[in-house]
Structure formats: structure tokens, C-alpha cells
Structure 1
Amino acid sequence: MNPIEYRSDRKLSIDEFADVLKRTSLGARRPIEDRRKLQLMLDHGNVLITAWDNDKLIGVSRALTDFSFCCYLSDLAVDEAYQRQGIGKRLIEETHRVAGHDTTLILLAAPAAKDYYPHIGMERFTDCFRIQRKTV
């Protein structure tokens, strides 16, 4: 069995990104049928970490950062067949490493994942506010 490989230097195609999202619970909350939006998401996120089992994409972390103060981890997705192996935690660690450890890493948890993040050592922060998107 080959170890999982984590990459920060590989761009994804829209099809690769949509495919891995479909194999996770995140797919239900992302515009996987809207190729234009997926392309914009890939084009404008400035940290992309991928996890590979040989040639199979099994995880992705997509973030936006200024590389000095904050890093917003927008998408964390691990293929359901590969969960509970530490891949999500490692994707978060790699995202924070690339963004810089001087940044504060922030994410909004999906309701089903809210108990996962404290389990891996992240601090729960309740004072978060948002303006919901106007379109889907």
C-alpha cells in the first residue's frame, strides 16, 4: 500500500474537482453542475492542497489567504471511502503550512462536521457572522 501523497503544486481540472466533491458530503453544498462557478473557485482560491492515492484524487483543501494574517479554508473534502485516516487533518495542516503559520486559519463547519474540528485540535469560535449569497 502506497502512502497518501499531498500536493500543493498541482492544479485541478473542473472535472477532477467536481468528481472529488461528489464523493463527499460537501458535494451537496457546492455548485458541482455549474462549470463556470467551479472554474472561478479554482482560479481565485490561492491555496489548493490535494491528496492522492496513486493517481486517484481522494481529497482537496481550497483556501483564500493573504499569506500574513488570515487564511479562510473554504473547502475541505475527503472521499468518503478514505475518511477516518487522518487525511482531512493533514490537508488542514498542509493548508496552514502553505498559507504561513503566522496566519489564523478560519473555516465554517458544515453542520454534520461541527464535532470533527474540535476533535483534531481546532478551537470553536462562536462569534462568526455572514451575509448569505443571493444566488445559488
Structure 2
Amino acid sequence: MNIEYSFKKRPTVDQVIELYDNAGLPRPTNDKERMQQMFENSNLIVTAWDNELLVGVSRSITDWVWACYLSDLAVRNDYKKEGIGRKLIRLTKEKVSDQSMVLLLSVPTAMEYYPRIGFKKQESSFIIDREK
């Protein structure tokens, strides 16, 4: 499998929506404008491509020197267990350097995945949930 990883190649909002739905990532994929804004307002995006097929995305918001919030990690179902998610996270961490932490909120189905790839579970987070 020859997967191309890119910081520059941007998917269309339709490609992102299709990937997220395929991967089972619970995001507002029925709201195309909101999904577009989510990507436009992110400042670190890594994509994974199998030729022209979008197979993975890591979408983050970062200040580059202290914190990087990994908002989305999605890998197409047929490509899971190929190391794509792990590589997207590694590339994200390399880009923000050792000065910055990478943190995320996990979907329930991925709670076992993140500790296996080097994340430490934290008990010190708080959230004000979105209303929509």
C-alpha cells in the first residue's frame, strides 16, 4: 500500500464528509457549511491519500509552542489497522515539535486505541458541551 501523507493537499468538504461518515466519526456531516468552517479554522491538517482517495485526516488547532488540540482523527474503514492513524498523529506531533503537547477528546469507541499508541489518559479535563 502506497499512502501519500501531506500537509498541503487539502480535501474538498465533500471528501471530508464522506470520509468521516465512512469512518464513523460523529461530526455534523449533515451541515456542509459547518464542516467547511471546521476545516477553514484549523491551522494544522495532515491528510492521507491512496492515489486520489482520501483515506485519513488529522485535524488540529495549535499555537505551535505549548498546546495542540487534535480535534479529529479519521481513517477510512477499509484502511484501519494499516498504521495510518498512528502516522497521522506522529506527523502532527513532529510538526508542532517537542515544545507542544498533543491532547484530544476521544470518542468512546477509540478509548482503547490511544493508550496503545502513546497517549496517557488524563483525569484532569473539563468541558462545557456545545448546545448544537
The SS at the match of 2:98 is coil
Moved over 6 A (4+): none
Cα distance in 2, alignment partners of residues 101 and 18 from structure 1: 32
Runs of 5+ unmatched residues, structure 1: none
The SS at the match of 1:49 is strand
Q: For the aligned residues, what is the CA RMSD?
A: 1.0
Cα distance in 1, alignment partners of residues 11 and 77 from structure 2: 19
Runs of 5+ unmatched residues, structure 2: none
Residue 7 of structure 1 contacts residue 51 of structure 1 at CA under 8 Å; is this kept in 2? yes
Deviation per CA, 1:13-39: give whole Å up to 9, x if none: 11111111111020xx20111111011
Give 1:23's aligned residue. 22
Identity %: 39
Instruction: State the aligned residue count.
Output: 132
Letter in 1 for 2:101: T
The SS at the match of 2:86 is helix
Cα distance in 2, alignment partners of residues 23 and 127 from structure 1: 32
TM-score, scaled to structure 1: 0.93
Give 2:100's aligned residue. 103
Cα distance in 1, alignment partners of residues 8 and 62 from structure 2: 16
Cα distance in 1, alignment partners of residues 99 and 66 from structure 2: 6
Deviation per CA, 1:43-96: give whole Å up to 9, x if none: 001001000111111000000000010000000000011001111010001111
Give 2:124's aligned residue. 127
Give 1:56's aligned residue. 53
Query: Aligned-pair distance for 1:100?
Result: 2.4
TM-score, scaled to structure 2: 0.96
